[in-house]
Amino acid sequence: MKIKKAVITAAGPQQQHLPLQTLVSPDGETKTVAAFLLDEIFASGIESAAIIIAPGTQGDFTSAVAQHLDKITLIEQSEPLGYGHAVLQARPFTGSDPFLLMMSDHLYLSFAKKSCLQQLMAFAAQTDGPVSAVQPTHESKLPFYGTIAGTPVPGLQGLYEVSRIIEKPTPTVAEQELIVPGLRSGNYLCFFGMHILNHAVMDHLEKSFAENGAPLALTPSLDAVADAERYLACEIEGLRFNIEEPYGLLRAQLGMALAGESRDEVMGTMIELIGATRR
Amino acid sequence: MLVSLITSEDADLRDRSLAEACDNLDAEALLAECGELDAFRRASDNLYHRVRALFFLQAIYRYHLPGKLPPQAPGAIPFAGYEDLLGRHFEEAIDVFLAVQQKEGASDAISSALAAAYHQLAFQTLANQVRRSVRTVRGNQWMFRMGHPADHPLRIRPELLKTTNHLPPVLCERTPVRMDLTHSAWSDIFFLGMDFPQGARVVNVSIDLAVHGRDASPKPPVEAYLRVIEEPVLRLTSIDLRTTATISALADVFDFAKDYLGLLKAAVIASGIVPPGIEGSGKSLADLLARLAGPGKGLELISSVNDIPKGSRLAVSTNLLAALISACMRATGQTQSLTGELTESERRLVLARAILGEWIGGSGGGWQDSGGVWPGIKLIEGEIAGETDPEFGISRGRLLPRHKVFNVEEIPETARQALTDSLILVHGGMAQNVGPILEMVTEKYLLRSSAEWQARQNALDLLDRIVEALSRGDIRTLGRLTTENFRGPLQTIIPWATNHFTETLISRVSEKFGDDFWGFWMLGGMSGGGMGFIVDPSRKQEALNLIHGIMLETKGQLENALPFAMDPVVYDFEINPHGTFGSLATGEDALLPPSYYPLVLGDSLRTPPADLSPARRAELDQFAGACQTNPAFSDSVQTLFDALIPRTAGKDGEVPSLDLLLKKNGFDRAQHEQIRKDLLEGRIGLAQNRLPATTVIKDVAPNDVTDFSGGPSTDNLVLGEKALADGEVGVITLAAGAGSRWTQGAGVCKALHPFVKMAGRHRTFIETHLAKSRKRGHEAGPPVPHLFTTSYLTHEPTRLFLEHVENYRYPGPLHLSPGRSVGLRMVPTVRDLRFAWEEMPQQVLDEQQQKMRNSLRAALLAWTQSAGEASDYTDNLPLQCLHPVGHFYEVPNLLLNGTLAELLTERPQLKTLMLHNIDTLGADVDPALLGHHLASGTGLTFEVITRRLEDRGGGLASVDGRPRLLEGLAMPHEEDEFALSYYNSMTTWIDLDQLLALFELDRDDILARDEVKITAAIRKIAHRLPTYLTLKEVKKRWGHGQEDIFPVTQFEKLWSDLTTLPDINSRFVVVPRLRGQQLKDPAQLDGWLRDGSADHIASLCEWS
């Protein structure tokens, strides 16, 4: 499956300004979070992207992504009616095509030669259905993520066939419904923040919104699609930074710095700070 | 051969009774089988094979081997093995005992030790497995992994964080209780359900309840409330126990016995709010709550059971735990919906958590007990473990059963209504510990004792028939079947499923209602608590009051004989169609039950308004508003006022009655003050009871005893028979004590307890002793005079009881000898409590129970200090504050109170008295033993028996070279007792004239009733005997069937210390075990019935 379109959600109350924050990349370049995402998206072969934004933030985004402006469509979500509703705003843009869905408050650092997104795209190229990037996550982080149950696809390391998706499950539910063979005890496959989705997801979102109205979440639609067709999840070799969490931005910056040319300098600064602030 | 009974694939062979298989084996063959079984259980990796082998070994050593051993010298039990047992090192204990058996040959003593060790190891193994299973249930595992607040994965649902004018929303969970329509024959014990899932079946009905005549209408009796508070603490309140606690330290959440809030704490833990994995982490509770509910926030959890009495057999506690857990799980998003009914998978999870909570709290019922979580009528069945279950490969069944809720097609509404219209649900008033029963059932199941195994099959058949009758709405048949179940399977498996009280009720109700009494229904566990009477619906209203009256009257007649915890009650009930149900109240409606406020508002009212937090002020406003407008709060102002300004009048009422009792019973205040002074100054105490460490304690030599252990010699039979025929012998039964171990300090008369059915009726201890004397008298000619010594506690009840039963038509002289001295119990000293708990060897309990015990002991030490060490113990019913001063005084009392004079007037020829304990059931006036005593010319002949592991508390010893009876309290070292071969049965043949001579008295002094002379004589001898300080447990009852047990200090002088006096000649005879053994604990009853003891006693009796 060849993916040509991407959708980035940036309309949430906390997300409106985060994509505009600047960070220094591992190779020393200073750019906004949005630019980080878009650079990775377009480097993976995707041709156009839509960003779902909150009303009144168009100007900020336009300047933040100036470099890619010709390939970008900004779509306003007029009211905050749920994450699923934000995704649904991209329906005119995606049409019946499959698309990449990313969140503007997540940044990624790959452990492999390929970037995190390229790893996902490589898996997606081998299948026709939806694929979500996942990562084994400790149960204490369950309140933050959508979590899947699945079985490993024989012969394909890191690929799972998804049977169930639950948004922010309690560990009680996770233990009963979401245990995946092969994972360490107390760890579950949680969403990594990037998905390859298809029109079936959009169709289901549309139907749910028509039937139940707001708030419209994304996960129930993903779960319904997983029930109806083959839905895969792939483990990504990399780190995910949720910059919305307290110190999330700092953590992302440290991760990038320690993975790049300035590693020694940053470590020296950290040690110096630790010593100077000792209580 | 016996191993094949465990391993066979053939169910018929596997279900063969062990007893049958052992019947034809002699001692040697049995020992060989034991060797094989022991090797098998050590090698087997199958849990249930191991456990069954352990039970086989226990049964062989306890029941089958001892009777087949050849007569031999008494064996010894090594102290090292005993210590291992106390420390729960069962494997090591078994090795020590087996080594002794190997070296010295099998003996009765070592068999008893091995039986005890195998028994405890078997239960330990089973308990460990249930615990492992509870931990491995999916949905529970994570809680054992979480060890840091930062890892807490739960969050309080946002709905509960939205306050309205500072008033937080209140989540309320209402849960019915459950009644077990088929009793289940205890098949819901976890061990049974996991080994024999196809036999674990119960029909369980969720019901709402009201106490008839007190409450307006039935409602779910169990309620739990939860809300978020603006303080980083856990506030726990039990409305029924009138207790509240604010917990700010994590360690206190795990301290179960610190207060009465153990159940709420267990719920907080089992629901994952404070997961068990974080215990002992030293982390901050406030941090954990901040993670859960937000910075600075805490939780309040409140329980209420609407004053439903404890011990109802309706699983009130388990359903309350389930309700609390359910509320906590809803609040933390572990259920889909915050309110309404639960889904099936959520109910199962609540059940799993309730089992976990019971384990954490150190208690445990059956798996059907959380039945109230489910709606209506359901069949609960064990399930075979499947490949994906954690139990697979370990046990045949799963830990959690399957619930099938009957729909209205299967059991129509009319049938449900018919059941409600006919059934009278009651609580008889007795609340007893069912623990021993559950152990008996498990053991019998694993041994496949043939009658019990057949009974279990019959119970399963009856269950199907009961369901069928219910689905037809045929309640008359249902009543017949529940009666059949009670009379047949239940009593076959456990004879103690009935008692004299229950039988009397059934017969009186039957008499009153004739054909309109359709059946009796036993509600589970022990008898005398929850039960049901099924009557023709046209007579139900009449029956409600009549049965209540019958129960009250019967209780009145038996309350000194049986341990009642409260007055009987009758319930109104309705079948609950929802199961557990949640609701959310917000704003002004977010009220807690009216009786909550007096418990907690005191502090707020005493605080200046300016210092109150907005939330507290809002709550006061809300309460004030409710008092004016909400009818449920109409009495609240008065209740709050009473709580703030308690009245003291009630207390004053008790003091004179205690003083009166002390005066009436010869309390010696001067001596009491001296004892207190000595105690506080450390001159007396538990440690000072002991003989000096330099005393040489040895076992007696063979010629120090005359051995009649194989049965008395008939050499002097004629002498004994003649004495009996001449009316020269009388019997003294010591019945002054309350039998503390028998009822755990409930303060009833053990002598009057109808403890066993013999010859078709329940018999009391008194009746049994009289029946033996009747028989001997009948055989000899003149009836044997029989005296019962009594005390302030037992005299009046015994007198009235004997009057009521017309002295059991005893043909001979029958006298009661009232006590003439009494002590006042004291609060123990910390020093003595620590000595008892830390210096004396202690039975280590299993992990959770040990935690509970440690916590309880810390609380008791605190109580001792706050109440005042060695102060008078007066905070209980007056009778519970007094104590008898030891059985030494019981014979002197006969001299003092005129009873002996009376007897001597009737029987001037009286020469010999046989004195024995109320619980030495085998003691009778055996002419051969009597003849031996007479021929020896001895003043006192003491009967001893060879020792078994359970025979603790002293024995016959050579003390510095002189044989005498030595009390356990006086042993310089604990291990000294284990070197002694013989245990003191207390039965003593007394030469009356020699005894009087010891006191420097004669028959004329007695007949002249010269009290001054006799008192002086007694004091003189008493002064020469040691005074022992002891700790006893005393029950304090309160609330609705609640009981607390306190240790208290008292003093005693003991009869067996007469053997220390050189002025009277004492000799010792070894008698058969069946004659000398004592029945001290109800838990011994079943073994006593099974090992032939009961049959032996029955053969000695002639009933009126």
A215 touches chain B (CB under 8 A): no
Mean pLDDT of chain B: 89
Q: Are B930 and B713 in contact (CB under 8 A)?
A: no
Among B9-13, B234-238, B1095-1099, which stretch is predicted with the lowest mean pLDDT?
A: B9-13
Among B368-372, B415-419, B697-701, B741-745, which stretch is predicted with the lowest mean pLDDT?
A: B741-745
pLDDT at residue number B1094: 93
Task: Decide if B780 is inside a domain.
Answer: yes
Q: Is the dihedral of CA B282, B284, B288, B289 positive or negative?
A: positive
The whole-angstrom separation of Cα B881 and Cα B1048 is 9
**Is B142 in contact with A174 (Cβ distance < 8 A)?**
yes
Select from B145, B332, B345 the Cβ nearest to the Cβ of A170. B332
B152 touches chain A (CB under 8 A): yes
Q: How many CB atoms lie within 10 A of CB B292?
A: 22
Question: A180-211 pLDDT, tens per residue?
Answer: 888 888 899 999 999 999 999 999 999 999 99
**Is B152 in contact with A173 (Cβ distance < 8 A)?**
no
- The continuous run of DSSP H or E covering B1051 comes out as strand B1042-1052
Delineate the domains of chain A, giving CATH numbers in brackets: 5-276 (3.90.550.10)
Q: Which residue has the tokens 């360490």?
A: A184
Per-residue pLDDT band at B614 (split at 50, 70, 90): confident
A179 touches chain B (CB under 8 A): yes
A171 touches chain B (CB under 8 A): yes
Helix, strand, coil % over all residues of chain B, rounded to 5: 50, 15, 35
**Is A171 in contact with B154 (Cβ distance < 8 A)?**
yes
Mean pLDDT of chain A: 90
Task: Select from A150, A245, A230 the least CA-distant residue to A193.
Answer: A245
Q: Are A170 and B154 in contact (CB under 8 A)?
A: yes
B140 touches chain A (CB under 8 A): yes
Instruction: Give CA separation, B787 vs A96, B806, B812, B910, in Å.
Output: 103, 15, 10, 13
Same domain? For B106 and B208 the reply is no
Kindly list the residues from chain A whose CB atom is less than 8 angstroms away from the CB atom of residue B141: 175, 185-186
State which residue of chain A sits closest to B139, comparing Cα positions.
A172
Same domain? For B631 and B712 the reply is no
Q: Which range marks the domain in which residue B104 is found?
A: 2-136
Select from B142, B154, B332 the Cβ nearest to the Cβ of A186. B142
Per-residue pLDDT band at B599 (split at 50, 70, 90): confident
Task: Decide if B483 is inside a domain.
Answer: yes
Same domain? For B683 and B718 the reply is yes
Find which of B136, B137, B145 to mutate to test the A interface (most A CBs within 10 Å of its CB): B145
Q: Are B1046 and B832 in contact (CB under 8 A)?
A: no
Select from B139, B146, B333 the Cβ nearest to the Cβ of A176. B139
Same domain? For B109 and B152 the reply is no
Task: Decide if B305 is inside a domain.
Answer: yes
- Residue B284: left if φ>0, alpha if ψ -120 to 50, beta else—which one? beta
pLDDT at B328 over 80: yes
Question: A122-168 pLDDT, tens per residue?
Answer: 999 888 899 999 999 999 989 889 999 999 988 888 899 999 999 99
Higher pLDDT, B307 or B806: B806
Kindly list the residues from chain B whose CB atom is less than 8 angstroms away from the CB atom of residue A175: 138-142
Per-residue pLDDT band at B647 (split at 50, 70, 90): low
Q: Please report, in angstroms and rounded to a whole number, the separation of the first and last CA atoms in chain A.
A: 56
**Is B139 in contact with A138 (Cβ distance < 8 A)?**
no
DSSP secondary structure string for all residues of B788-847:
EE--TTTHHHHHHHHHHTGGGG--S-EEEE----BEE-BPPPHHHHHIIIIIS------H
pLDDT at B1047 over 60: yes
Q: Give B1023's contacts (C-beta < 8 A, 6+ positions apart).
A: none
Kindly state the average pLDDT of the residues B662-678. 85
Kindly list the residues from chain A whose CB atom is less than 8 angstroms away from the CB atom of residue B152: 140
pLDDT at B650 over 50: no
Same domain? For B551 and B636 the reply is no
Q: Are strands B982-991 and B298-304 parallel, antiparallel or unpaired?
A: unpaired
pLDDT at B653 over 50: no
Q: Are strands B423-427 and A238-242 parallel, antiparallel or unpaired?
A: unpaired
Kindly state the average pLDDT of the residues A72-96. 93
Q: How many CB atoms lie within 10 A of CB B344?
A: 11
Question: B975-1026 pLDDT, tens per residue?
Answer: 888 889 999 999 999 999 999 999 999 999 999 998 899 989 998 998 899 8
B145 touches chain A (CB under 8 A): yes
Task: Decide if B887 is inside a domain.
Answer: yes
Same domain? For B707 and B721 the reply is yes
Per-residue pLDDT band at B738 (split at 50, 70, 90): low
Kindly state the average pLDDT of the residues B1059-1081. 92
pLDDT at B385 over 50: yes
Higher pLDDT, A15 or B325: B325
Q: Among B551, B575, B599, which residue terminates a domain?
A: B575
Question: B27-70 pLDDT, tens per residue?
Answer: 999 999 999 999 999 999 888 889 899 999 999 999 999 888 88
Kindly list the residues from chain A whose CB atom is less than 8 angstroms away from the CB atom of residue B329: 172
pLDDT at B89 over 80: yes
Write out residues 87-146 of A within 8 Å (CB-CB) of B. 138-143
A176 touches chain B (CB under 8 A): yes
pLDDT at B649 over 60: no
Q: How many CB atoms lie within 10 A of CB A96?
A: 10
Q: What is the DSSP letter of A194?
A: E
Kindly state the average pLDDT of the residues A238-251. 89
**Percent residues over pLDDT 90 in chain B:** 57
A151 touches chain B (CB under 8 A): no
pLDDT at residue number B616: 86
Task: Select from B991, B983, B1000 the least CA-distant residue to B1056.
Answer: B983
Q: Among B575, B601, B625, which residue terminates a domain?
A: B575
CA atoms within 13 A on the CB side of A222: 28
Same domain? For B45 and B161 the reply is no
Kindly list the residues from chain A whose CB atom is less than 8 angstroms away from the CB atom of residue B332: 170
Q: Give B731's contacts (C-beta < 8 A, 6+ positions apart).
A: B769, B773, B784, B785, B786, B787, B913, B914, B915, B916, B925
CA atoms within 13 A on the CB side of B591: 18
Kindly state the average pLDDT of the residues B5-16. 86
Task: Decide if B416 is inside a domain.
Answer: yes
Task: Select from A232, A233, A231, A208 the least CA-distant residue to A218.
Answer: A208
pLDDT at residue number A279: 62
pLDDT at residue number B1042: 66
Among A14-28, B407-421, B808-822, which stretch is predicted with the lowest mean pLDDT?
A: A14-28
The whole-angstrom separation of Cα B922 and Cα B906 is 27
Same domain? For B769 and B678 the reply is yes
Is residue B628 classed exposed, middle or buried when 0-12, 13-18 and 19+ CB atoms within 10 A define those classes?
A: exposed
Same domain? For B29 and B54 the reply is yes
Q: What is the CATH number of the domain that holds B681?
A: 3.90.550.10
pLDDT at A77 over 50: yes
Amino acid at B862: A
Chain A: closest CA distance from residue B152 (Å): 6
pLDDT at residue number B651: 46
Chain A: closest CA distance from residue B332 (Å): 8
A39 touches chain B (CB under 8 A): no
Among A15-29, A41-55, A93-107, B204-218, which stretch is predicted with the lowest mean pLDDT?
A: A15-29
Task: Decide if B267 is inside a domain.
Answer: yes
- Which two three-digit tokens encode residue B507? 């017969």
Q: What is the CATH number of the domain that holds B311?
A: 3.30.230.120
The whole-angstrom separation of Cα B141 and Cα B417 is 42
pLDDT at B367 over 90: no
Select from A138, A141, A143 the Cβ nearest to the Cβ of B155. A143
B332 touches chain A (CB under 8 A): yes
Kindly list the residues from chain B whose CB atom is less than 8 angstroms away from the CB atom of residue A142: 153
Question: B128-162 pLDDT, tens per residue?
Answer: 777 778 888 888 889 988 888 988 999 999 999 99
Higher pLDDT, B395 or B754: B754
Q: What 3 state SS string does B913-952 have?
A: EEEEECCCCCCCCCHHHHHHHHHHCCCEEEEEEECCCCCC
Same domain? For B706 and B752 the reply is yes
**Residue B27: strand, helix, or coil:** helix
Is residue B14 classed exposed, middle or buried when 0-12, 13-18 and 19+ CB atoms within 10 A define those classes?
A: middle
The whole-angstrom separation of Cα A110 and Cα B288 is 34
Task: Decide if B847 is inside a domain.
Answer: no
Question: B825-856 pLDDT, tens per residue?
Answer: 999 999 999 988 888 777 777 777 778 788 88
Same domain? For B1026 and B979 the reply is yes
- The continuous run of DSSP H or E covering A169 comes out as none
Q: Please report, in angstroms and rounded to a whole number, the separation of the first and last CA atoms in chain B.
A: 47
Per-residue pLDDT band at A179 (split at 50, 70, 90): confident
Task: Decide if B583 is inside a domain.
Answer: no
Q: Among B575, B602, B632, which residue terminates a domain?
A: B575
Kindly state the average pLDDT of the residues B593-608. 84
The total number of structural domains in chain B stands at 4
The whole-angstrom separation of Cα A138 and Cα A150 is 17
pLDDT at B752 over 70: yes
Chain B: closest CA distance from residue A138 (Å): 9
Q: What angle do CA A167, A171, A174 make, to 5 degrees?
A: 60
Amino acid at B998: L
pLDDT at B486 over 60: yes
Sheet-wide strand order for B962-967? B697-698, B954-959, B962-967
B333 touches chain A (CB under 8 A): yes
**Is A175 in contact with B151 (Cβ distance < 8 A)?**
no
Same domain? For B624 and B689 the reply is no
Chain A: closest CA distance from residue B262 (Å): 23
